[in-house]
Structures are given as C-alpha cells and as structure tokens.
C-alpha cells in the first residue's frame, strides 16, 4: 500500500474522531494494515487542524494499534527517519503493550535513532495523563497552553517538554493572576533545545523544515548549551520574520506606516479560529506581569530570562525569541517576535513600569510602578 493510502486511513481516523468528539478508544484498525515500508508518511494531506496529534488527547494506555502506528509515523517524520527499515510487526502493537516496553526495549525494536525519540515521546504522553489525574483544571489549562505553544513551533524536541514532571505542585502564590497561565509546574529545557537546534540549522534547513516539521537526526543535539548569553536566537517557523524577509525581497513597495488594518478575511478567521475567546480578558495579563512571572520562578524558567540584579529588579532576556513566542502563544498570536515585544516593553518606560538600562542589550529593569517581583513582596 502506498504512503498515500496509509495517510488517507489516518486522515479518515482523524476526521472521524473530530466529527464525533474524541473517544478514548478508536475503532480497531482495518484488517489489512499497510506495510511498514510505507510508514514514511507525507503530512501533505493534512490540514493544520487535521494534522493535530489527536492521540495526545488519549491516554497512551488506551491507544489502539492505529494510534500507535500514527504516533510512530509522526515521530519518524519529525526526525526525517526512514521508516522503511522497520518491520510492521513491531508497529502493530496497541497502547497497553507499548506502555509495557522499557527504553531499552523500544530502542532495541526501533533502533538507536528512532527508539530514544519514541521512548521520550511516550514518557511525555504518559506523564501528561498521570499529571492530569493528579491536578486540577488550572494545570490542565497550562498544559494545553504549553502544548499548543510547542505544537505550533513544530520542533520535534520541543514536543518533549515536561510539564510538572518531578515537580511538586506549588500552591498558587498570593499574586492574583486571574489568568490562564501559571509557571509553577513548567520546565522548559526544550526551549533551550530549540535554541540549540536553531544554532545548527541553516536558513534553508529552517525554511524547508518549517513546512513539514522534519529535521535531520543530526540536527538533534544536546540541549546543554550552557551559555547564558542570548546570542543567536532561533528562528521559529511560525514567526513572520521569514515572511517579512521574502516580502522585502519580492517587492520594495513602501508600506504605509502603522499597523495594517485587518482584512475582512482576517477578521472572520479570527472569530472562527478562537471561539472560546472571552469578551473580557482577565486582569493580570499584562506583558510586564508575564515577564515578572517568568522571572520569579527561576527554577522553572530554565534559561529564558535571568536576574542581573535581583534587588534592583534588573533582568536580562536570555532567549528573547522564545519568550516572545510564549507571549504570543498566551495572546494567541503566532507572529509575535522579540522585536514587537520589545516595542511594548519600551512603552513601559514612560509609565515607569520599566526603567531604561543604557548600553546593555536585552537588559531591562523594573520601575517603581511595577510590583510583585521584589524579594520582600514575595516573602522570600
């Protein structure tokens, strides 16, 4: 069977699931499973929404063989692994069987290249469901926010973010975010992964990968950059920079100053894309608060930002584009960049929420009209 056939089978399964709501267990796979030689699936037939990894919404223990197959193919795709070397026999297992396998088992079956990747991914899915069974809706919302953020990045390693793993669920601080984000239970090693990745990707690799979400396995490196300097920021696929760049090349037409008005199409798509958007955004969703909250959870921000002078409120962006992407994710704006974020930051100077720090790149200081970051305030 061709890869297109397998792809269409999976697409059909996706559509069925989305039309009927997401059942915990999908119908059993068709009697004649495709040859694993065709496992290298093209994602071309998926629309972005249909391409969503729906098995993420199902506990791995409940995965069917079909689910497992799709999961394997997605992971293989994500690292450009040639699945033709695999035997279908190994992929015809269901979730419970898969969950029984150790890391060594998986590596033994799927090889040193794909195996660890699969094991890592499986652990995430398992952890996610274990976590969800232990925590309340707030954390689930955080999981979704981060999941969405990472999904949108389309970096394979980013999907390995570990939420709440090995972390106690810290009681909410006195800070009243009234919001849908909370950094308490997040670890972000993977953001560092992405940064590391970007350092190893040329522009062409980047642009080609942004479409398919594929990377050569050689690009997957250790996240231990160790560097605390921000330096080469990684270009996120969804960031509009690439688009802007090509636009500049294509046409040198001068645009009018200011923000372009939304077209009717943009307007309607905004409405339909975010049906849950509440009319009244909760308080505590300001950019400076978002930044502050990253900073006051140093054990969680994993190198996104750091304090330069904790007492004085001086801080530095280490992974500026990553922070901007997180901010964009929070505001449901996939085209957020550090450039835009920093413009908003500069508006805080006038209001004395931030103070200028001259001569130092990516360094800002909280001003007298900011709050909630001081050691005394936090009772540290």
Partner DNA sequence: TCTTTGTTTCCTGTTT
Partner DNA sequence: TAAACAGGAAACAAAG
DSSP 59-74: -GGG--HHHHHHHHHH
Number of residues that bind DNA (CB under 7 A): 52
Alpha carbon 167 to its chain centroid, in Å, reads: 20
The yes or no reply on residue 258 touching DNA (CB under 7 A) is yes
Residue with token string 């909370």 = 182
- Please say which residue, 33 or 363, places its beta carbon nearer to DNA: 363
- Among 81, 149, 234, 338, the residue binding DNA under the rule CB under 7 A is 338
Kind and range of the H or E element at 117?
helix 103-134
Q: Using the 8-state DSSP alphabet, how is residue 232 labeled?
A: S
- Give CA–CA dist 176/166, Å, rounded: 25
The distance of closest approach from Cβ of residue 354 to DNA in the complex, given in angstroms and rounded to an integer, is 9
Residue corresponding to tokens 């006051």: 296
363 binds DNA (CB under 7 A): yes
- Residue span 197-236 as binding mask against DNA, x where in contact by CB under 7 A, dash where not: ---------------------------------xx-x---
Binding mask 127-146 for DNA (x = CB under 7 A): --------------------
Residue 333 in contact with DNA, rule: CB under 7 A: yes
Could you say whether residue 21 binds DNA (CB under 7 A)? no
Choose between 71 and 315: whose C-beta lies nearer to DNA.
315
Q: How many other C-beta atoms are found inside a 10 Å radius of the C-beta of residue 360? A: 12
- Lay out the site mask for DNA across 169-198 (x = CB under 7 A, - = otherwise): ------------------------------
Among 262, 312, 352, 375, binds DNA (CB under 7 A): 262
Q: How far apart are the first and last CA of the chain?
A: 62
- Least distance from C-beta 275 to DNA, angstroms? 12
20 interacts with DNA by CB under 7 A: no
**Secondary structure class of 343 (helix, strand, coil):** helix
331 binds DNA (CB under 7 A): yes
Across 166-295, the runs of DSSP E, i.e. the strands, are none
In sequence order, what are the residues at sequence separation of 6 or more whose Cβ sits closer than 8 angstroms to the Cβ of residue 139?
131, 132, 163, 164, 169, 182, 185
Residue in 12, 144, 172, 277 binding DNA, rule: CB under 7 A: 277
User: Residue 62 carries which DSSP code?
Assistant: G
> Helices 287-295 and 320-330, interaxial angle, to 10°?
120
Of 136 and 359, CB closest to DNA: 359
287 binds DNA (CB under 7 A): yes
- The answer to the question of residue 261 lying near DNA (CB under 7 A) is yes
Nearest-angstrom CA–CA distance, 156 and 354: 36
Q: What is the CA radius of gyration of the chain?
A: 22
By CB under 7 A, name the binding residues for DNA.
Answer: 230-231, 233, 240, 244, 254-262, 267, 270, 277-283, 285-288, 320, 327-328, 331, 333, 335-336, 338-344, 346-349, 351, 356, 358-359, 361-363
């Amino acid at each position: 069977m061709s890869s297109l056939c397998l792809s269409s089978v999976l697409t059909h399964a996706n559509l069925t699931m989305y039309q009927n709501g997401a059942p915990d267990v999908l119908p059993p796979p068709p009697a004649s499973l495709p040859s694993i030689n065709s496992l290298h699936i093209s994602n071309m037939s998926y629309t972005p929404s249909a391409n969503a990894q729906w098995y993420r919404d199902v506990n791995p223990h409940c995965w069917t063989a079909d689910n497992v197959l799709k999961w394997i193919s997605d992971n293989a795709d994500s690292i450009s692994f040639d699945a033709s070397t695999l035997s279908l026999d190994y992929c015809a297992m269901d979730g419970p069987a898969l969950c029984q396998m150790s890391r060594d088992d998986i590596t033994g079956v799927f090889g040193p290249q794909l195996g660890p990747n699969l094991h890592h991914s499986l652990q995430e899915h398992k952890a996610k469901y274990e976590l969800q069974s232990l925590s309340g809706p707030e954390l689930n919302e955080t999981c979704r926010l981060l999941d969405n953020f990472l999904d949108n990045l389309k970096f394979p390693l980013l999907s390995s973010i570990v939420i709440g793993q090995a972390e106690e669920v810290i009681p909410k601080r006195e800070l009243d975010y009234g919001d849908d984000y909370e950094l308490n239970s997040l670890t972000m090693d993977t953001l560092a992964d992405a940064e590391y990745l970007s350092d190893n990707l040329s522009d062409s690799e980047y642009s080609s990968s942004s479409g398919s979400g594929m990377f050569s396995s050689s690009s997957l490196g250790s996240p231990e950059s160790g560097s605390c300097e921000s330096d080469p920021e990684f270009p996120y696929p969804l960031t509009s920079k690439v688009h802007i760049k090509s636009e500049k090349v294509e046409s040198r037409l001068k645009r009018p100053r200011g923000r372009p008005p939304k077209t009717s199409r943009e307007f309607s798509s905004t409405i339909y894309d975010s049906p849950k958007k509440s009319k009244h955004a909760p308080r505590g969703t300001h950019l400076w608060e978002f930044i502050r909250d990253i900073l006051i959870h140093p054990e969680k921000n994993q190198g996104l930002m750091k304090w330069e002078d904790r007492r004085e409120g001086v801080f530095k962006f280490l992974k500026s584009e990553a922070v901007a992407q997180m901010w964009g994710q929070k505001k449901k704006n996939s085209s957020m960049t550090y450039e835009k974020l920093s413009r908003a930051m500069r508006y805080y100077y006038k209001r004395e929420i931030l103070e200028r720090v001259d001569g130092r790149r990516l360094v800002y200081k909280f001003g007298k009209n900011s709050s909630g970051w001081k050691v005394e305030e936090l009772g540290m």
